[in-house]
Structure formats: structure tokens, C-alpha cells
Amino acid sequence: MSSNLYEGSVPTSVLKDTLVYRHTIAVLVDNEAGVLARVIGLFSGRGYNIESLTVSVVDDDAQLSRINLVTSGTRQIVEQIKAQLGRLVPVHTVKDLTDEGPSVGRDLALVKVDGVGEERVEALRIGDIFRCNVVDSTNGSFVFEVVGTSEKVDAFIDLMKPLGLVEVSRTGVAAIARGAGGMVDEVLLKPSPKPKASTRPKKKSTSKRKTAAKKIAKKSSPKRKTAAKKARTSSKKKR
Amino acid sequence: MPRDTIDGRQMLGARIILKALEEQGVEVVFGYPGGAVLPIYDEIFKQNRIRHILVRHEQGAVHAAEGYARSTGKVGVVLVTSGPGATNAVTGLTDALMDSIPVVCLTGQVPTHLIGNDAFQEADTIGITRPCTKHNYLVKDPNDLAKTVHEAFYVARSGRPGPVVVDLPKDVMMAKGAYVTAPRGIKRQQHKTYRPAHTPDPASIEAVVDLMVNAERPLFYTGGGVINAGPGASKTLTALVKETGFPITSTLMGLGAYPASGPNWLGMVGMHGTYEANLAMHDCDVMINIGARFDDRVTGNLNFFSPNSKKIHIDIDQSSINKNVIVDIPVVGDAGVALSAITKAWKARKTRPKPKAMKAWWADIKKWMAKDCLDYTQAGSVIKPQYAIQRLFELTKNRETYISTEVGQHQMWAAQFCRFDKPNRWLTSGGLGTMGYGLPAAIGAQLGNPKGLCVDIAGEASILMNIQELSTAVQYRLPVKVFIINNQYMGMVRQWQELLHGGRYSESYTDSLPDFVKLAEAYGLAGLRVEDPAKVDDTIKEMMAIDGPVIVDVRVDQKENCYPMIPSGAAHNHMILGPEDEDEKAITGDGLALV
């Protein structure tokens, strides 16, 4: 994560709130081996909670993947999670979809319901109400594909429980911010940073050969500076 | 070799690694050979620009690289083999991560087609070091080698420094690839994802100075971040303290940024910090944290930590801010840059803190200083550990001295009595608290500063953890001095057992100690022993006069406790100042469960 400004710093009153909130966070990362392990390791190592997690490639050319995370914690913990994610080297950006304006999230579940007779019919009727697709059917079972918010999927699964629910396979939440403009574009069109002072410590020349050579150079041309060198040093000063 | 002729040239993978290290300005590599790194060792043999230092345990290699890095400001480089070599380095890497020391660790790995097959000396180095490094890489293509090494150095030294592991499979080392030179100038900062914050937000600087000019009881609280920002940052800090006249304290890792001989110095803050520093921290109304992370050793019980102050936190790592302590003004940026900006903004203001308030604040501080909390009595025939360390400091302070320590009571006494006037002279394991850190760190410091006087203040239990590094000191003729404060106990553990566990000294007596003088002679270095307080000065002078490594076995009082102490679970203004305080301020309740 690059930031020259501490944007989005949260006021202290908000940080002192002790209630637990659920946040959906989208993380754009380099599609390199081990990135997911890094993120999971961060959560497990620091004891943060992962309620759901999905990951897949979103841009093949730029080799970018998107991780959608749903986590919960106090405000202070959630800010910590975002900061810790942001400082991982392969992470491009961290976006808190719960905080940064309206967003939409969807969860998909494949729900297998066994049953015959009345229960089977009731299950199908409820599936209709929830606008499910039936993706598998036998004489004694259905597999429903239900898509919606997590609450909708939870509700459907709850309703299926007394009707012969056998198995559930869920994807977890994929979420996206409403409005125009996307995360990938923000990342790819990032402005280049201005030149800044070198972070590398100045290397002291320790080899005797170099210092001897310097002495000889000094002796032979004491005050003559070439035009090029003058230009170079003056441009350094400007920076 | 000029950059243009080498860029794009095909060469052996192992040679690419060495060329990349050269280009990064590496002069010393600490390592230990093994099967998986033989190709690199072959290349090392064939060249003479980079010096390889053979340690005797891979943990020693990483600690030596840390000592080298902290004392010179450069990146420390380690080379170890696969499997056990890499796993032995893990403690050192975790230490570097906790203390933010830039280290690049090259680990060998089994050939790519054997990875995951439980091959000989194979370990999942990337998996094992993921949580204990800043970042790690596994290179599978020889054409990626140069780029990865350059990136590893960039990641290690940028932003908040830290350890980076580059895992190098043997077949990749033996294959040919193209060398790529390091990105220069603007391209250096154009890493696609990792661009750490550098310049703080001007609005937050103004907010900081707003608080400063209206403060009545201000305090500077500095940490390792100022040291990491370079010697320039320490100079800027010293000038700012002089300009503002505010008192200043520091964490264990930040000692030396502001000179201890300076008029505004309050001593170290924290669990074993001075009385005046801890009370100032508790009673201040504006706390300016520069490059420290509100560690639990410093804050004590968070519920009672500096309850009435406005807190400013300047840190290069955004995740450190609001992690333990919720602050009022967060500032993300490099400590040196932030300090310069604050100095400029301060000088541009006309308002200044009220002189009457500042006078009253300093009067309070002087009252607390009058307690003389570090006072001890050296009387009788037994050497007090504080006396030995204080005499060591007094007799070495006029030299270019680098002090490293192990972990425990001696470490705290060294922090209290060695009054550092310059940064990068103090090498200690703060965050992880690794026993066995000091000797290899002193070796690393000696290699980075050949004219320096490098002293490892050790405990007799700690020194045994990496005692094998004495061979390294002898091999390279490094005149490191090992000053063992020998009290026959694991002092800090014993102190806690005395205060918390009713004096049941379970496994804290260091039984079966070797005769350190004979051990020194066996390793081929000089050994001295002192038991008489009157002979301490002479022994230290003798130690300094010997041109070569020396062990000094200083037999000290066995039951001396380290004061002051904020017992765990207590607030800053409830310090134990001496044995007479022990019963009243016993550790109870939640405090018992804390380390």
C-alpha cells in the first residue's frame, strides 16, 4: 500500500467504541504464489476473525487477484486489520466496503435437500419464492442454487432445515462498491511518485584503491570542474 | 564491473547472486555452508570483493548481521543452507522482525523438482518464515534471480526495515540466467505494490505543533524508529529538543538518539526505566511519540497509561498507530522527515508554551530526579553488578564503543548505566529478547566498525547460548570483549520468581557452569576473572589493552534485583524502587498472568 498522506484516519472517539461490527474488506493483491497463505497467516497469527473469504484472479494481464473478506471486530481491531493487510508487500490496495460508501455483496450456496411427498413439494415452493434455480434433481432430492445477500442465503438454509436439508456448499461473500470506477483501474493508473531522497545509506568508500585514485584525481585537476559535472551537481541541488 | 556491460549478460545463477549483492553494496556476508548452497560458496571462493564470515551456528549468522546492520545502518546479509540451516536462522529472523532491523537472508533449497518430496535437508522455508519475516521469496527461474535480490534489498531497507528471506533452489543456482541491474533513481520507488509512506501530511504536522506550543507539561518519547531513520534524524531530534526545551525520554531500542549527557534527558522509560521518566510519562499533558510503538514494557497497565495526556504518534508504519494506545494525532511518515517538518513549523510560530508552566513542570521533574532511583551501594567484598557495568561504561566512554547485550538483568543495568551519546552504538534484543544475541552482534559490529571497541555485556546463562561464536571472533581476529556479569542465576527469572512465586527458584540456578577463563583459553582467547571490587577498574583496563578477543568473568552479588521496576499490571506511578517497596507493591490479580 502506498500512502504519502494519512487519509482516512479515524477519529479517536470512533476508535474507542467497544461494539463489534462486521466489515467487508476487498483486497487487491499480486497474483503470486503464497499471497493467500500470507493473508490467512496474518489473520490466524494475530487472532483476527475470518467469517468468509473468497479469492480469484480479476486481471490476467496485470496479474491481479481480489480477496473478499468478511471480518468482525471492534473499530480499533478493524482499523488494525486494514493497516496490517496494507503493509503486506504483495498487497496493492485495501478497501473497506462497509465504510467507504454503499456496496453490494452476494453469496451463492448450493443446498441439497432430500425428501419425498409434501416436504419435497414445500421445498420446491420455497425455492421458487427465493428465486432459486434447481440445478440437480432426483426422485428423492433437489440441489438448489440460491444467490443473494448472506442474510437471504441464511434464511433459505434455515427454512430448508426441517424439510430435509442434507448438505450446503457456500462461496462466501463477493462484494463490490456501488457507483462508477473500479479498484483495478485505481491501481493500474496510479501516478508515479515524485523523486525523493535516497533511502540507501551513503556507501563509505573503504577500498584503498579508490581513495588513492581520488587523491590523484584531486592533485591533477584541483579546481577545474567540467561543465557536465557542474550541471549534474546543480541539478542535484534543485531536487 | 560497469553496470552497462553486465546488464543482460548470461551467467551462472550463483554468480548472478554475488553480482547482485555487489551491486547492492554488500561488503560482508555471514554464513555457514551446506549442500544446497555449495554453488554460491564456490562463487564466493572465486571472488574477493565480498568477505564471507564463517559463523559456528546459523542463529549466530543472523544475529551478527543484525549487529552489523544496527551499528552501520547498512543491510545485514546472511547465507545459510536448506533445511536445518534455514530453521536455525528462524530465531534471528524473528528477532530482526521484532526490532525492525534490515537483514537479507539467502537460504539454500533443494532442487525445484524435489520440493515437496521430503528430500534430504528440505524444509518449507517459505512457509516457516512467512510469519517471521517482512517478506520472503522463492526463486524458480534463474532469470528472476537478480531482480529478486534487488527487490529483497529494497523491501528490507524501505519503510519500516525488516528481515527478508530469499529461498534459492540448488538447480536454479546451477542454471544460467540473465543478470538484471538494480533499478535506479525514480524507478527505485516504483515497486508496483510496496511504496511505504515517507513524507507526513502537512496538516498533521501543523496539528502536532499546535499541541506543542500550547503544552504545559510536554514530553518527547522516542524509540527505535529514530535510530532507523539514520544519524541525521538523531541530530534533528537533538536540535528540536534544544529548541523547544522539552524533556525527553526513550525506549530501550531508542537509546542514543538524544545524547544521555544532554540537559533534557530523563533516562529510559518503561518497566525498568527511571523514576523521573516514568512519572513524567504518567503526568505529562502532551506526549510526542517519535518512532516508538507503545510496547507493553513501556506502557505497563494500559488502563492507567498516561491518563490525562494528548498523544501524538509519529511512525512510518501505519499499523503501529492505534494498535495498543489510541492516540489523538497520528502522523505517518519517516521520523527524520517528520522531525524536520516539526522543527520548521515550530520556528514559524510565534506562540510558545508559558514559561511559568514549563518552569513548574521542570521543577516537578527535578524533584523526581532527586530520588536518585538508580542509586546502589558498592560496599564490602562483593561486586555489585551495577558497579561493574558503571565502571565499564566510565572507562570505555571516550572510545568509539559499541555495547551489545544479551537478555536479562544485565541488559537492564546496561541500559540504565551506559549513557549513550550517539545512535548506532547500542545493540540489544528488545522486542524478542533473545538470549545469545550479544556475542554474535558484537562480532557483526566489530566487522562493520573495525576501529571500534565492541563489548558484549553478558549474563553467564545467556553467553552459553551462542558461546560457539567465540571461534568466529578468534578466526577473524576480532577484538570483541565479552564482559560476563556472573551471578550464578538467570537473574531476571530469579527476580520474578522472588516477587511472584514466593521465592521458589525453579530451574533458574545456572548449575555446572564452565570455568570461563579456562574456556577462553580453550577457544584461543584471553580470559580474565575478577571478584574483588577494588580490582574491577584494573581488570577492565587490562581487557581494553589486550589486542584481541577477551572474556572477563565478573563474579557479582547473586541476589541483587534490578530496580526501579513497574510490576506487571501496575501503573507508571506505582514503581518498586528498592527492596523495601517489595511487599507493599506485590503483584496481584491480572498482573500475575502477564509476562
Per residue in A147-189, pLDDT (tens digit) is: 999 999 999 999 999 999 999 999 999 999 999 988 887 777 6
Closest Cα in chain B, distance from residue A52 (Å): 22
**Quick check: is B121 catalytic?**
yes
Cβ atoms < 10 Å from Cβ of A110? 17
Kindly report each contact of residues A135-141 with a partner whose C-beta sits within 8 Å and lies 24 or more positions away, as own/partner: A135/A110, A136/A112, A140/A114, A140/A115, A140/A116, A141/A112, A141/A113, A141/A114, A141/A115, A141/A166
Query: Which chain B residues have a beta carbon less than 8 Å from that of A9?
Result: 330
**Quick check: is B543 catalytic?**
no
- Cell numbers linked to B231: 544519524
pTM here? Answer: 0.90
pLDDT at B2: 58
**Quick check: is B98 catalytic?**
no
Of A27, A200, A235, which to mutate for an interface test with B (greatest number of B Cβ within 10 Å)? A200
Q: Please tell me the distance from the alpha carbon of residue A2 to that of residue B519, in angstroms, as a whole number.
A: 53
Kindly give the residue spans of alpha helices, DSSP state H, lying in B505-574.
516-523, 536-545
Of B72, B193, B201, B327, which to mutate for an interface test with A (greatest number of A Cβ within 10 Å)? B193
Which of these, B100, B317, B288, lies nearest to B200 by C-alpha position? Answer: B317
Q: pLDDT tens track of chain B, all 595 residues?
A: 556 678 889 999 999 999 999 999 999 999 999 999 999 999 999 999 999 999 999 999 999 999 999 999 999 999 999 999 999 999 999 999 999 999 999 999 999 999 999 999 999 999 999 999 999 999 999 999 999 999 999 999 999 999 999 999 999 999 999 999 998 876 655 687 888 888 999 999 999 999 999 999 999 999 999 999 999 999 999 999 999 999 999 999 999 999 999 999 999 999 999 999 999 999 999 999 999 999 999 998 899 999 999 999 999 999 999 999 999 999 999 999 999 999 999 999 999 999 999 999 999 999 999 999 999 999 999 999 999 999 999 999 999 999 999 999 999 999 999 999 999 999 999 999 999 999 999 999 999 999 999 999 999 999 999 999 999 999 999 999 999 999 999 999 999 999 889 999 999 999 999 999 999 999 999 999 999 999 999 999 999 999 999 999 999 999 999 999 998 888 888 888 988 776 655 566 666 677 6
Cβ atoms < 10 Å from Cβ of B290? 28
Closest Cα in chain B, distance from residue A231 (Å): 17
Quick one: pLDDT band at residue A204, thresholds 50, 70, 90?
A: low
- Check CB contact under 8 Å for B198 and A86: no
Among B192, B200, B319, the residue with its CB nearest the CB of A83 is: B319
Q: Which helix (H) or strand (E) holds B36?
A: none
Residues 6+ apart with CB under 8 A from A227: none
Residue of B nearest to A63 (CA): B192
Kindly give the residue spans of alpha helices, DSSP state H, lying in B158-283.
170-174, 202-213, 224-228, 231-244, 275-283
Residue of B98, B492, B544, B575 marked active site? B492
Q: Which helix (H) or strand (E) holds B156?
A: helix B145-157
Is residue B110 a contact partner of residue B81, using CB atoms and an 8 Å limit? Answer: no
Query: Which chain A residues have a beta carbon less than 8 Å from that of B198?
Result: 4, 196
Query: Which chain A residues have a beta carbon less than 8 Å from that of B230?
Result: 201
**Quick check: is B30 catalytic?**
no
- Check CB contact under 8 Å for B328 and A206: no
The number of helix segments (H) and strand segments (E) in chain A equals 8, 8
Query: Which chain B residues have a beta carbon less than 8 Å from that of A33?
Result: 138
- Cell numbers linked to A151: 442474510
Query: Which chain A residues have a beta carbon less than 8 Å from that of B199?
Result: 4, 196
**Quick check: is B58 catalytic?**
yes
For residue B428, give the 3-state DSSP assignment: coil
- Cell numbers linked to A160: 430448508
Which of these, A172, A160, A180, A202, lies nearest to A51 by C-alpha position? Answer: A172
- Check CB contact under 8 Å for A84 and B319: yes
Among A4, A9, A195, the residue with its CB nearest the CB of B199 is: A4
